[in-house]
Amino acid sequence: MKNVIAAGAIAATGVLAPHVAFAQSATVQQIMDRGTMLCSGHNGSYFGFVEVNDQNEWKGLDIDLCRALTTAILGDPDANQIVPLSWAQRFPALQSGDVDVIIKATGWTMGRDTELGLQFSLPYFFGGTQFMAHGDLGITDATGLEGGTVCVEAGTTIERLAANYMTTIGIEHSMVSYESQAELRSAYLANRCDAFAGWGPNLAVLRATELDNPDAHIILSDQLSSEPISAAMRQGDEGFVDTVNWTIAALLIAEEEGITSANVEEMAANPPNPRVARLLGVEPGMGERLGMRDTWAKEMIAAVGNFGEIYDRNLGADSPYGLERGLNSLWSEGGVLYAPILD
Amino acid sequence: MAITDITPPSQFTEARKRFVRHGFGSPQASFISVLVFAVLAYIAWKFLGWAVFRAVWSKENADLCDGHGACWSVIDARHRLILFGTYPYDEHWRSTLAAIAIVVTVLLSCLPAMWNATRLAVLWIVGFAAYYLLMEGSLLGLQQVTTDGWGGLSLTLFLFAAVVLLGMPMGLGLALMRRSQMPVVRWFAVIIIDTIRSLPLVTTLFTAAVVVPLFLPTWLEGDKIWRVIFGFALFFAAYQAEVFRGGFQAIPKGQFEAGKALGISYWCILGRIVLPQVFRHVLPSTINMVVVTFKETAIVTIIGFFDILASGKTAFGTAEWAPYYIEVFLFVAAIYWIFIFSLGQYGEYLKGRMAISEH
């Protein structure tokens, strides 16, 4: 009986509105009904990704992506609610519906993707293991560490990666393990290590905030590994995954096309090519296929800027951390970020 | 003339005399005293030099912070974050009023004049309703702030007050059940108390906050904060029940039997004869439990609440203020100290008061 009604309903919608065949996702519908997007925050501060400013407002790369997504769905960057979550709590909180999406420096792993029943978006950030070395060594990559001492945190994947990498490039060195991050840091500062290995963004933040003289330290150019950081969603709502993926894609395409929060109106009034016209909703296509407004990408870019602007504001050149784009540049600039094809 | 002077020596003179007698009675004692005071004075001087004389006070001067003195600018710039968490900036007056409502409620419940069931019930309902209405806001026609946005000192105070005020009667109930003559009731209490005591607090809170919603129907879930308060209160109650049990064991059985022989009802024996003595016996351990609970509220950060410690960490969790975490921790420690020291002093006052009533 239920099936008959459902079939009838589908037929009826089909007849009445043939263009809404790309049905909206349940999650997006829920967000629209609620009028608020529920995003993950942090139970404290995770430098560059999730912080709180002097006006008690959330900020950071992950927060800006949440604002972008909120603008895309609801048209208002402030219509979100950031739910503070600890690391351990984030996946159960997503499953129980406390948040709609996790955008919280979360790596895409097979275990999470399969066993935990999560669905990951396009990676929006790549963070890899890197070395930080004393600037007075005058080196720029790990080949300069010949005969030196490299320190690592004991028992981490970073330890294995560093040993593996140094063997691969054939550099003689001695490796010293420390039990904790704090010990490692003080050993490095006391010059007991020439370099130490860590997660790239963390190294950059440490360099910018905790070391007395940032310029006396250099992050070497070697990338020992690269972890894709993605937004995580509940499995089983492909429509919502599409929405999140195309939000990230639109931010990347905007950067590729040079559309910024400052010139987006101008670009929309006078699109230089059909791709921009489509992206900004001058030509239809962006909205209908996701069950949203045609101009969602335009509104989003006006509110938070393109991906480059978001990065620079929170982690990059315009932030106190000054983290190089590196791998996180667009493919056209030598990075690995790229958007699917906007047809 | 001096011999006829019979006014008692002032406390201060007396203390000074005792100090000189004990501290400088022999050369060795004098030497050790001088050494200890020199070290203390040196530490105090160093600390004051860092915390006061070389310190930078305002956020406008933050660029003068050079690591040689305390950089209190971080408190100047971020104290509202520490005190209110991520509560909306323009609504902080509500959070302030709500915190005051909780403090007043707790203070009033500490006054002996308020100690009867009706008055306490009315006070607590009014106090907590005032807190909730102010913080949440939508019922008063103010901007709605959901519990995710609550934080800082007002959240810590609320959690603490709610846990103790809920947990105390629950603990008493469990203790009474544990003493019951009925095996089913007794075993029920034993199982509850021992199960909860064998679980770490973190597990209890995590279950209440994160696991329970996975299998409860949505309409029964309630807000995370209530589930957490309930879980925390249950934890408090399990321990407090054992504290009460110790108090009950100190009462000779004969008092109950004598009461029964006189035909006094169970509740009357309990309320008029036994409990007043139990309360007196358990006072020190209860104050202990309450103080520990106040400090333990910091654990809620693991389930994503912005208590004062978490918001303190957030305050230095930005590039500008990252080096000045010691200042923030000292500020938070001072706030904890004020509240916990007052609790301790209140315990002393109660003890004195009860000692009088014993005579």
The DSSP secondary structure of B314-334, one letter per residue, reads HHT-STTTGGGHHHHHHHHHH
Going by pLDDT thresholds of 50, 70 and 90, the confidence category of residue A211 is low
Residue type, B119: R
pLDDT at B3: 56
Contacts of A208 (CB under 8 A, 6+ apart): A214, A320, A321, A322, B319
Judge whether B153 and B226 are in contact, CB under 8 Å: no
Q: Show residues of chain A in contact with B297, CB under 8 Å.
A: none
pLDDT at B71: 86
Tell me the per-residue pLDDT of B13-68, one tens digit each, with 9 for 90 and over. 888 888 888 878 888 888 998 999 999 999 999 999 888 888 888 888 777 777 77
Q: Show residues of chain B in contact with A62, CB under 8 Å.
A: none
Specify the DSSP class assigned to residue A46.
B
Give dist(CA B260, CA B273) in Å, integer: 12
The answer to whether the CB atoms of A43 and B146 lie below 8 A apart is: no
CA atoms within 13 A on the CB side of B234: 24
Task: Count CB pairs under 8 A between chains A and B.
Answer: 100
Give dist(CA B325, CA A227) in Å, integer: 30
Copy the structure tokens of residue A180: 């904790």
Judge whether B329 and B353 are in contact, CB under 8 Å: no
Nearest CA in chain B to A48: B318
Beta-bridge mates of residue A146: none
Contacting A with CB below 8 Å, chain B residues are: 67, 77-78, 80-81, 84-89, 146, 148-149, 206, 209-211, 213-214, 224, 301-306, 310, 313-320, 322-323
pLDDT at B61: 78
Nearest CA distance, B254 vs chain A (angstrom): 53
Least Cα distance to B284 among B239, B347, B341 occurs for: B347
Give dist(CA B68, CA B56) in Å, integer: 10
Contacts of B80 (CB under 8 A, 6+ apart): A54, A56, B89, B92
The answer to whether the CB atoms of B306 and A43 lie below 8 A apart is: yes
Give dist(CA A29, CA B14) in Å, integer: 78
Q: Show residues of chain B in contact with A55, CB under 8 Å.
A: 89
Q: H helices within chain B, ranges in order?
A: 11-23, 27-48, 73-84, 92-110, 117-136, 152-178, 183-197, 201-206, 212-215, 218-221, 224-249, 253-261, 266-268, 275-296, 308-315, 325-358
Residue type, B109: S
User: SS3 of B335, please?
Assistant: helix
Q: H helices within chain A, ranges in order?
A: 2-16, 26-34, 61-74, 90-95, 110-114, 157-169, 181-189, 200-209, 238-256, 264-269, 274-279, 296-304, 307-314
- Percentage above 70 pLDDT, chain A: 92
pLDDT at A1: 39
Least Cα distance to B72 among B81, B83, B60, B84 occurs for: B60
Least Cα distance to B21 among B29, B31, B11, B9 occurs for: B29
Count Cβ atoms below 10 Å from residue B186 Cβ, excluding itself: 14
Going by pLDDT thresholds of 50, 70 and 90, the confidence category of residue A4 is very low
The answer to whether the CB atoms of A44 and B77 lie below 8 A apart is: no
Q: What are the distances in angstroms from CA A162 to CA A45, A84, A150, A254, A337?
A: 28, 34, 9, 36, 25
The answer to whether the CB atoms of A45 and B209 lie below 8 A apart is: no
Nearest CA distance, A79 vs chain B (angstrom): 13
- Percentage above 90 pLDDT, chain A: 40
Q: Show residues of chain A in contact with B96, CB under 8 Å.
A: none
Judge whether B137 and B145 are in contact, CB under 8 Å: yes
Give dist(CA A209, CA B178) in Å, integer: 56
> First-to-last CA distance in chain B?
40
The answer to whether the CB atoms of A208 and B305 lie below 8 A apart is: no
Copy the structure tokens of residue B75: 């408190």
Which site among B314, B326, B332 would you substitute to test the A interface, given the most A Cβ atoms closer than 10 Å to its Cβ?
B314
Residue type, B209: A
Nearest CA distance, B233 vs chain A (angstrom): 21
Whether the pLDDT of residue A6 is over 70: the answer is: no
Query: If you count DSSP H runs as helices and E runs as strands, how many of each does chain A have, helices first?
Result: 13, 13
What are the two backbone dihedrals, phi and then psi, of residue A58, each rounded to the nearest 5 degrees?
A: -75, 145
Mean pLDDT of chain A: 85
Q: List the single range of A122-126, A154-158, B308-312 with lowest mean pLDDT.
A: A154-158
> Average pLDDT for residues A158-169, to the nearest whole number?
88
Going by pLDDT thresholds of 50, 70 and 90, the confidence category of residue A3 is very low
pLDDT at B356: 66
pLDDT at B177: 92
b/e B270-281 (16+ beta carbons within 10 angstroms → b): beebbbebbebb
Give dist(CA B321, CA A17) in Å, integer: 55
The answer to whether the CB atoms of B302 and A212 lie below 8 A apart is: no
Which site among B210, B300, B305 would you substitute to test the A interface, given the most A Cβ atoms closer than 10 Å to its Cβ?
B210
> Average pLDDT for residues A269-282, to the nearest whole number?
91
Give dist(CA A290, CA A301) in Å, integer: 17
Q: Which among A56, A57, A96 has the least Cβ separation from residue B210?
A: A96
Please, what is the Cα angle at B85 between A52 and B71, to 5 degrees?
A: 70
Which site among A30, A39, A42, A43 would you substitute to test the B interface, given the most B Cβ atoms closer than 10 Å to its Cβ?
A43
Q: Exposed, middle or buried by CB within 10 Å (0-12, 13-18, 19+), for B21?
A: exposed
Nearest CA distance, B331 vs chain A (angstrom): 17
Copy the structure tokens of residue A178: 């420390």
Give dist(CA B75, CA B55) in Å, integer: 12
Least Cα distance to A231 among A222, A221, A241 occurs for: A241
Tell me the per-residue pLDDT of B57-105, one tens digit each, with 9 for 90 and over. 888 877 777 777 888 888 888 888 889 888 888 888 999 999 999 889 8
Judge whether A46 and A107 are in contact, CB under 8 Å: no
pLDDT at A13: 44
pLDDT at B184: 93
pLDDT at A10: 44
User: SS3 of A321, please?
Assistant: coil
> Average pLDDT for residues A56-67, to the nearest whole number?
93
Q: Show residues of chain A in contact with B146, CB under 8 Å.
A: 81
pLDDT at B355: 72
Specify the DSSP class assigned to residue A24.
P
Copy the structure tokens of residue B253: 């059985």
The answer to whether the CB atoms of B209 and A97 lie below 8 A apart is: no
Counting as low any pLDDT under 50, the low residues of chain B are 1
Q: Exposed, middle or buried by CB within 10 Å (0-12, 13-18, 19+), for A62?
A: buried
Count Cβ atoms below 10 Å from residue A108 Cβ, excluding itself: 17
pLDDT at A232: 95
Give dist(CA A218, CA A138) in Å, integer: 9
Give dist(CA A281, CA B32) in Å, integer: 83
Copy the structure tokens of residue A314: 């929170």
The answer to whether the CB atoms of B214 and A96 lie below 8 A apart is: yes
Give dist(CA B75, CA B334) in Å, integer: 12
In the numeric block, the tokens 């004075």 are attached to: B41
